[in-house]
Structure 1
Amino acid sequence: MGHSQSEKAASHDRVLRIAARKIREEGVSRPNIAELMKEAGLTHGGFYKHFASRDDLIVQAAAVALAEGSAKMEKAAWKNKQEPRAGLIDSYLGKQHRDAPGTGCALVSLGGAAGRADAKFKSAYDHQVRAYLELLAGLEDHPDSEEARSNATLTLSAMVGAILMARAVDDPELSDELLTTVAAQLNQHRSRPPAEQSE
């Protein structure tokens, strides 16, 4: 790759990462092209060298925002080597995650937009939901069981919902309660061995 091409790729990546943070913080309708390009150290006029349209940028930024979550989730899980599932739950439902939407899980901040978006956006969201379900099922005591998949679905849905509500409510005490209560309940709920399921 030539020098100018590598610079263009680096600039493209920089704009995408800034946009990925902005859409998690402010929603997909808010980011202004001129502001994004300025923050990336580029001119407004250079936008169309990188993206076909604003919609193109938003779809690409959403894919970046969603994909960034996988590595963070795995890292969070293995902070607690004895109980990786609990490590992931406690990290995800922590105040630090709640208070940092710009770097947090995009399933929370982009869920509403994905429901109304085009096929590419929906596909990126779908891919990330499936990746998280696979990761969570893999942390269960019996990862290949139907119970593990069911538990992963419950866990992911509860975590995403708890963060969404904890960010949305006005009362700080209620916000904390949502996080701690859901974390405690999920940590008590584990998949059972297949033999126990059929008893």
Structure 2
Amino acid sequence: MGRVSRAQAQENRQRVVATASRMFREKGTAVSVADLMKTIGLTHGGFYKQFASKDDLVDEAIAHAFADQGAHQAADGTDESAEEHEAVRQKMIEDYLSIWHRDHPGEGCPVSGFAADLGREPDQAARSRDLYINGVRNRAARLATGDDDGMAQLCTLVGALALARATRGNPISEEVLRAALTALTENTNGQSEAQGTD
């Protein structure tokens, strides 16, 4: 069999990064290179022609996940009216706390998808820290309302999703999602209305 063309090699590399991004969010970064390459249908040896190490791939997978998510939603809402921003915020919260998002971590938010691994692996966290922190700040900014920078709201989303995934199969899983949804929508709206009547 002949050598792989440069274009084919680049396409294979992009497939590895995209698949790793999904698999790492779904199963954690402990997924082996052999399993990853087998899923794609490429040889294990081919990995090291494309990447210096698995750590480099993890960094690229995290970058890919944030870029992919960013393509679906702007990083900041400077061009939105207050009403448009609130509509985007509400949709983001509803989507985040959905059964679909709970059950599809590989296609879900990289903030929650990579949090546990970066917390357990300090060396990887140091390599990916800036990228991950920027992703956290951008998502919090999409939730910001008035004087609220959105960080506590993001913490509620990520924590609720982690609990819902950990308890999937038990009714408490959906209960956690509903409780977080109520806390972030009804309560926030109620506070705004109450402040407006003073």
Supply the distance in 2 between the matched residues of 1:106 and 1:118 (Cα, whole angstroms).
14
Preserved contact between residue 66 and residue 135 of structure 2 (Cα < 8 Å): yes
- State the TM-score, normalizing by the size of structure 1: 0.79
1:185 aligned onto 2:180 = no
Kept in 2: contact 1:67–1:128 (CA 8 A): no
Paired with 2:141 and 2:71, the residues of 1 have a C-alpha distance of 13
Distance in 1 between the 2:87 and 2:58 partners?
37
Q: Which runs of 5+ in 1 are unaligned?
A: none
- Take 1:126 and 1:59, find their aligned partners in 2: how far apart are those partners? 13
Write the distance in 2 (CA, Å) between the matches of 1:17 and 1:103: 10
Q: 1:15 and 1:171, CA in 2 relative to 1: closer, same or farther beyond 3 A?
A: closer
Specify the SS of the correspondent of 2:164: helix
Q: Report the alpha carbon displacement of residue 153 of structure 1 after superposing the two structures with TM.
A: 1.0
Distance, in Å, in 2 between the alignment partners of 1:66 and 1:168 is 23
Within a 5 Å distance, the mapping from 1:1-199 to structure 2 comes to: 4-29=5-30, 31-73=31-73, 83-115=87-119, 116=122, 117-137=124-144, 140=145, 142=146, 147-149=147-149, 152-169=150-167, 172-188=170-186, 189-190=188-189, 192=192
Deviates more, 1:116-125 or 1:19-28: 116-125
Distance 1:136 1:14 in 2: 32
Q: Give 1:73 deviation, angstroms.
A: 5.0
Cα distance 1:23–1:168, how it changes in 2: closer, same or farther (>3 A)?
A: same
TM-score by length of 2: 0.80
CA drift at 1:170? 5.4
> What is the identity, as a one-letter code, of the residue corresponding to 2:50?
H
1:62 Cα deviation from its structure 2 partner: 2.1
What amino acid is aligned across from residue 60 of structure 1 in structure 2? E
Which amino acid is 1:108 matched to? S
C-alpha RMSD of the superposition: 2.8
Structure 1 residues 38 and 171, CA, compared in 2 at 3 Å: closer, same or farther? Answer: closer
1:122 deviation in Å?
A: 1.5
- Gaps (5+ residues) in structure 2? 75-79
Q: Distance in 1 between matches of 2:167 and 2:24?
A: 20
Alpha-carbon offset, residue 107 of structure 1: 1.2
Question: How much does 1:125 deviate?
Answer: 1.0
Q: Distance in 2 between matches of 1:136 and 1:17?
A: 27
